[in-house]
Chains A and B, each alone.
Chain A
Amino acid sequence: MVDSLAYTPQITLEFKIGEKDFFVAGECASRVKKTLQQLGLKQNVIKRIAIIIYEAAMNVAIHATSGMVTVHIEPDAITIRTEDVGAGIEDIDLAMKEGYSTATYEIREMGFGAGMGLSNIKQCSDDLKIESKVGVGTTLNAKVYFQEQPRPADR
C-alpha cells in the first residue's frame, strides 16, 4: 500500500452525468475504485473517495439537469469536483444537515433521498467546499489526502 504516488503521472477521470442518469452515478464510483486499486492506494482511502464520488454524482443525477464529475489524481491527494447546471441549493447549511432532503418519492423508492448524502461526503473529505447559485447550479470540491490528516472534532 502506498501513501504517495510520486512516480505515477497525474491522472484525470471525467464523467458526464445527465438528468436522472442514476446508473452512471453508481458506475463512476465503481470505476474510480477499480482504477485506485490498480494504483495500490490504501483500502480506507479508496473507500472514502468512492463514497464521495457516489454521493456527489447521485446528487447531480437527482437534482441537476446536467453535470460533470472530475476526479483528479495527484501525487499526495485526490480531488473530486462536481459541477452542475440546475436548481442550485438555497441554503447550504440546511442541505448539509443530516436528514434534510428535497428528494421525490421516486428517488426515495430507489433507496436514496434520505438526506445523508452531503453529510456522508463531509465525513469522508479532508477538505470540502460547496458553492451554489439558485437557478444556476452547484459546484462541489472535495479533497482526500493519502496520508491521514488530523480531523476537526466536529467530524
Chain B
Amino acid sequence: MTLKEVQELLGAQVLCGNDECLKRGVSICFACDLISEMLLYLKPHSLLITSLTNAHVIHAAQVMDVKAVLFVGGRKPDQSVITSGELNKIPLLATQLLTFDCCGRLYEKGIKTDEQ
C-alpha cells in the first residue's frame, strides 16, 4: 500500500513529505520504542512506528534506510526533528492512534514485518 493509503487508514497528519513521497509503496513495518532494537531489527524500506519523537529516531531511520516514520499516540516531534526528516527525505506522519491499533489495522491490509 502507498504511504497516502497508510495516512488515510490511520487518520494521520503529514508532518513532512510531499505528494510525490506519499506515492511510495510500503509493504513491511516495524514498531518499537528502543533505538537499539531499531538498529538490530529494522529491515530496509520499512515503515517505522514509534512513540519516540527525538532526533535519534531520524538518525536511526536514516542509518537503517527507513521509508517513513509514523509517530503514534498524538505525539509530535519538534520542528528541528521535522526539518531533519525533510533533509533526509524521510516522510514523517503522526496519528492519534496507539501502536497496537496502528499495527492491527496495517496487518489487516497485508503489511508484515518481513517480505514474504
Contact = CB atoms under 8 A, between A and B. Distances in A.
- On whether the two chains bind one another, the answer is yes
Interface of A: 22-23, 26-27, 29-30, 33, 43, 47, 50-51, 54-55, 58, 110-112, 114, 116-117, 120, 123
Given A22-B56, A120-B39, A120-B40, A114 B34 contact: yes
B35 A29 contact: no
A117 B56 contact: no
17 contacts: A22-B56, A23-B55, A26-B56, A29-B59, A30-B63, A33-B62, A43-B65, A47-B63, A47-B65, A51-B63, A58-B35, A111-B50, A111-B56, A111-B57, A114-B37, A116-B34, A116-B36
B63 A54 contact: yes
Given A30-B59, A54-B39, 18 more contacts: A22-B56, A26-B60, A29-B63, A30-B62, A33-B63, A43-B65, A51-B39, A51-B40, A51-B63, A110-B35, A110-B52, A111-B34, A111-B56, A112-B56, A114-B37, A116-B36, A120-B36, A120-B40
Contacts of A114: 34, 36-37
| Main SS class of interface, A | helix
Mostly, the B contact residues are helix
Interface string B18-41: 000000000000000111110110
**Interface size bucket, B side?**
20 to 34
Nearest to B39: A51
A21 B11 CA distance: 36
Nearest to B42: A47
Interface of B: 33-37, 39-40, 44, 50, 52, 54-60, 62-65, 88
Contacts of A29: 59, 63
Nearest to A33: B63
Contacts of B33: 111
B52 A55 contact: no
A33 B58 CA distance: 14
B18 to A, nearest CB: 22
